[in-house]
Structure 1
Amino acid sequence: MTMGVANLYRSTALGLMLLLLPGLVNAQQAIKPAVFMALSSAQKEQQSGKLDKARATLNKAINDAEAGSLELALIQQRLGYVAIAAQQNRQAIDWLRKALAHSKLDATATRQDQLNLAQLLAVEGQYRDAARLLESVQAGGALTLEQKQLLVQCYSQAREYTKAIPLAEQVVRADPSAADVWYQLLVGMNYQQQRYDSAAQWQKVLLKRAPQSREHWRQLAGLQSQAGNQSAAAGTLRLAHEAGVGLTQTDLDNLIAMQVNAGAPWQAARLLEELMAQKLLPVDAARQERLAQLWTLARDRTRAREAWAAVASGSGRADHWLRLAGLQLEDGSWTDLLTTLKRAQSGASSQQRQLIRQWEGYARSAIENNS
C-alpha cells in the first residue's frame, strides 16, 4: 500500500526552537587578564549589536592565544556565539566544534555548547551528526523533554526509526497533550518500519482527537488493511459510515487500489470482499469481476476459481468462462476444464473457439494418458 502517510510522515518536521544561550566567561577560571578583557569587551559589543566590532576584538585576541589553551577555547566559543547572533550558522558550527575540541571548558559550559551545536547542526540539516552529539550529551545526563524532542526529530530525519520510535513514545507519554504532529510522526515511523499494527494504534489517538476527520478514518482503515486485518478495516469504515463521515465509493475503491499498487493484491481482495459483505460497496458485476482479478493476481487459485465461476455464471460471457478454464488448465483439472469449455462456446468469437478446441484437445489427451 502506498498510502499518502508514507511520504507525508517521512518528511514531518517538528519546528526547531533554538535556545542558544551566550557562553559566559567564568571569571574563576585561570585565564590571562588580557584575554579576559577581550572576552568581556566582545560580549558587551555583541549584546549591543556591534557584531563586527566584537568579531574584530576576538580575532585580535586569538593571535595571542596558545594552541590548545583554555584562552583559545573561550575565544573560539565567543566567536561561535557572535556568529549565531549574526545568523551565520555554518561559521558558528565551525567555531563551537573548535572550542569543544580542546576539552578545556568546564562540564556545564561543555554541555550547553554541545546542545547548542546540536541544534545548529539540525537547523543546517546535518541530522545524523546532531543525533550523535545529542547521544553524547545524554550519556552525561538525562535530556529535558525539549531536548528529547530534538533528538527524535534528528533520528526521524536521518531515518533512524528504531531509535526514534521508543524516544517519541517517551515524549507523548510524558506529555499526553502533545501536538498532533507527534502522533503523526509515530504513525509514519511505524509505517516505515512496516509495523502496521503499532501505526494503527497511534492513528487511533489522532482519530479520537478528531473523530470527524475523514482522512483519519481512511488512514486507520488503510493501516489495518496493510496489517492484514481486513475485518477490522471494514469495521472501521462501517463505523465511519455510521458516524456520518463515511467515505465515498470512489474513496473505498481507491483504498483497494492502494493495496494493489503496494504489491498486496491478496489484502486488496480481502478488503474488497469485506466491504461488499458489509454492503459498503455494492455487489455488482464490475466489482465481482474485480474481485476475481485480484484473487488471480494474488495467486490464490482456489478463491480465484470460485470467483471466476461466479462471474461467468452471472454473465455467461465466453471470456469469463475462459478465465476460469485457464486456471483449470494450469491446475490440470481436465474434467472440469472440459465442462467449462463447453459453456464457453456460446457467444465465443472465432479466435476464442479456436482456443477452446486447442484446450479441449489438451484435456482429452491428458485424460486418455491417465486412464
Structure 2
Amino acid sequence: MAMGVGLAMLLGGEQRALAAGPALSQQSIDRLQGLERQLSSGHYQQVVESARSRAASAGSSQADQWARALYLQLAASAAQRMDQPGRAADLLYQARAIETAPLSQRLQWLEQEAKLRLRAGQMDQASALFDRWQGQASLGSDDLWLGARIHARLEQWDDALHWVRLARQNDASPDSEQLALAASIYQQSGQFSEASRAVEEQLNQDDSDPARWQQAAALYQRIGQPDRAAALWEAGWQRGILKGEEALLTRARLHMAGGTPARAAEMLSAALDQGSIEDTEANRRLLASAWAQSRDHHKALQAWQVVAERSDDAHDWYMLGDLAYGWGVWSQAEKGFAKARARGADNPGQLLLMEGVAAYEQGRLDQAQQVFQQAEEFGDSADQAGQWLALIESDRRSQQSSLSSRISMR
C-alpha cells in the first residue's frame, strides 16, 4: 500500500509542496525528508516516535498543520511496515482529520485507513469507512467487490447487496470467486432470481463443480421454477458432472416437481432394472409415486402393489387402495383398504366405509353389508354407514320386486 504520496511531492522541492498544500518552511521539508530516509533505511520505530513527536509539537498555522499531517502519514507508514495495521490506521485517522490537508489527500488517507482497519480485523470500522469512501469517490471494481465482501462477513446483507450491485454495474466480467460472493449475498438478501443467475454465470465459466449445479437447482426450486431446476439438473447429468445414485434420485424428484413425472418414472424403472440404484422400499415408493403422478393407472397400481406387498405397511396398502378407489379399480381398492385396516391404519371407520363402497360397486351386497355394519360401530362413520345399509336394503327390495314380477309373468 503506497503511503508516501505527500512526501514524494516534497522530495521534488517546495514548488511541488505548494501544489499539494500550504507552502512549507525549508526546516519542515528537511525534517520530513530526513524521516523518510530513516524509513527507507528500516528504522521504523524511530520514525514512529520522531514523527509523532514532531506532529504533537506542530504550530497552529496552516503550513504547520499541513506538516503535522505529513508527519502522521510518515508515522503510519512506519507502523504499517512493522505489521501494526491498527496503529497505522489510527495515525491516518488523525492525519485526515486535519482540514488544512488537501481534500484529495485526505480521501486517499480515508481509503488507506479503511484497508488497514480491514487488515487489523476491525470489521465494523472498516465497513463504515468503506461506505464513507464510496460516498465520496468513484471506486474501482476491485474495491467495490471488497466492500461487498466486508459487509457480507459482517452479515450486513442489505449493505452487501448495495455494494455487490455497484460492483456488478462496474464490472462486466466478474471472476468465479466474485460471482460466488454475489450469489451468496443475493441468496442471503432474498434475491433468489439474481442468485440463480449468478450461479449460472459461474457454470458458464466453469461447470466442473457439482456443488454449483446443486446450488443453482435449489435456487430455482426456491423461486418457484421447478421446471428450470429439472432442466438444469438434466443438463448436468447429461454432461456427466452429476452422477451416482443420489444424483439420479434427485434428477427423478426434480422431474416430478417440474411437471414431467413420466420421465422420472421411466428413468427410475430403468435404473432399478439395471441395478443403477438400490432396490429399496424407498426407491420403489418413489417409482410408484412417479407413475401415480403421471396418471398411468396400470403402472401406478402395479407399482404400489409391489411396494405394499414388500413392506406390508398400513400406509402403503392405504395408498394402493386410495389410488384404486379414485380410479374405480374396485377390487384393488377393497383389498388395499382391508389390508391397511388389518395393519392398524388410522381412521378405521372411514376405511370400512370405502372398503364397503368398493364391495358394493362390484355388486357384492352381502360383503358390503357386513363391512358397513362394522363401520356403524365408529362414531365418525356411523351415519354414512347407516345410509349405505339403507341403500343396500332398498336395492334388495327392488331386486326382490323385480324377481317377483318376472315369476308372476310366467
- Which one has the largest radius of gyration? 2
**Separation in 2 of the partners of 1:148 and 1:225?**
30
Question: Which residue in the other structure is 1:42 paired with?
Answer: 35
Structure 1 residues without counterparts, runs of 5 or longer: 1-18, 258-266, 294-302, 328-338
The one of 148, 154, 168 aligned to 1:152: 148
Unaligned stretches of 5+ residues in structure 2: 11-16, 273-280, 290-294, 323-331, 352-374, 389-410
Distance 1:201 1:40, change over 3 A: same
Distance 1:113 1:156 in 2: 24
In the superposition, the TM-score normalised over structure 1's length comes to 0.70
| Closer/same/farther in 2, CA of residues 181 and 279 from structure 1, 3 Å limit | farther
Give the match for residue 320 of structure 1.
315
Give me the whole-angstrom Cα distance separating, in 1, the residues matched to 2:139 and 2:247.
44
Match of 1:364 among 357, 374, 381: 381
Whether the aligned pair in 2 keeps the contact of 1:32 and 1:71 (CA below 8 Å) is no
Could you say if the C-alpha distance between residues 221 and 75 of structure 1 is closer, same or farther in structure 2, counting changes exceeding 3 Å? Answer: same
C-alpha distance in 1 between matches for 2:155 and 2:262: 35
% identical aligned pairs: 16
Per the alignment, do residues 354 and 205 of structure 1 end up closer, same or farther by CA in structure 2, a change over 3 Å counting? closer
Letter in 2 for 1:320: H
Q: CA deviation at 1:273?
A: 7.2
Q: Which has the higher contact order (CA 8 A, sep 6+)?
A: 1
- Give the alignment partner of residue 193 of structure 1, picking from 181, 189, 196: 189
What is the letter of the counterpart of residue 41 of structure 1? G
Secondary structure of the residue aligned to 1:76 is: helix
Per the TM alignment, residue 89 of structure 1 is displaced from its structure 2 partner at its CA by 0.6
SS at match of 2:6: coil
Q: Which position in structure 2 is the counterpart of 1:296?
A: none
2:257 aligns with 270
State the secondary structure of the residue aligned to 1:345. helix
AA aligned to 1:239 is A
Distance 1:158 1:364, change over 3 A: closer
Structure 1 partner of 2:344: 352
Distance 1:118 1:33, change over 3 A: same
Q: Number of aligned pairs?
A: 327
- In the alignment, structure 1 residue 289 sits paired with structure 2 residue 280: no
Structure 2 CA distance for partners of 1:132 and 1:56, relative to 1, 3 Å:
closer
8 Å CA contact 2:48, 2:75 repeated in 1:
yes
Q: What TM-score, normalized to structure 2? A: 0.64
Give the structure with the higher percent helix: 2
One-letter amino acid matched to 2:151: Y
Q: Which amino acid aligns with 2:138?
A: A
Mapped pair 1:180 → 2:176? yes
Q: Which moved more, 1:96-105 or 1:56-65?
A: 56-65
Map 1:1-371 → 2, pairs under 5 A? 19-25=1-7, 27-28=17-18, 29-31=22-24, 34-66=27-59, 69-165=65-161, 167-172=163-168, 174-253=170-249, 270=257, 274=261, 277=264, 279-282=266-269, 286-287=282-283, 289=285, 313-314=305-306, 315=308, 317=312, 319-320=314-315, 343-346=336-339, 352=344, 356=348, 360=375, 361-367=378-384
Shift of 1:84: 1.1
- Contact 1:23–1:113 at 8 Å: present in 2 too? no
User: What is the CA-CA distance between 1:318 and the residue it aligns to?
Assistant: 5.0
